[in-house]
Structure 1
Amino acid sequence: MLFMDVHENLTGVKAADVAEAHQKDLAIQDQYGVDYRQYWVDEAGGRVFCLVEAPSAEAAAAVHKEAHGLLPDHAYPVTEGV
């Protein structure tokens, strides 16, 4: 399944920090059968969005938890458009 997970209220979030966290996700994602495809950073709004293919939202969150501890506030199932 494809999910968009959303991290909110990240005052002072910087794209460079998110890039580092994303690399940590990529390093362990295979252990959970997860594929973090892409992310977006809204520095001004203090939000991060992660597009992830995973067997469940819980599996995707487990990668974040182990990799860097930054759990999403929401995870929405999504359908990829053309």
Structure 2
Amino acid sequence: MPLFMDVHSLGDGVTMDDVAKAHAADLATQGEHDVNYLRYWVDEQAGQIFCLVEAPNAEAANTVHRDAHGLVADRIFAVQEGS
């Protein structure tokens, strides 16, 4: 399955706790769209969130965010994992 990294730029007020709740909503919604959210990272100072997701396409990944909590990504990149 293709791998994507999405980026959310939300500005001030982003907290790990809020992102954890949004991620839990993603996990509860992802199965309907054949998507698997794997990990996320938060830069509270910059107000940015980064999500790593397996999805059939970028739109399916964004649809999960839209359905789960409404915070769609600003950008989504197709990525390949390296070591």
Distance 1:62 1:2 in 2: 15
Deviation readout 1:2-31 (Å, 9 max, x if unpaired): 000000133210000000000000001011
The alignment's TM-score, normalised by the length of structure 1, stands at 0.97
Deviation readout 1:12-65 (Å, 9 max, x if unpaired): 100000000000000010110000000000000000000000001000000000
Structure 2 residue ranges without an equivalent (≥5): none
Distance 1:24 1:39 in 2: 13
Structure 1 residue ranges without an equivalent (≥5): none
Matched residues, number = 82
The alignment's TM-score, normalised by the length of structure 2, stands at 0.96
1:1-82 mapped onto 2 (5 Å cutoff)? 1-82=2-83
Identity between Structure 1 and Structure 2 (%): 56
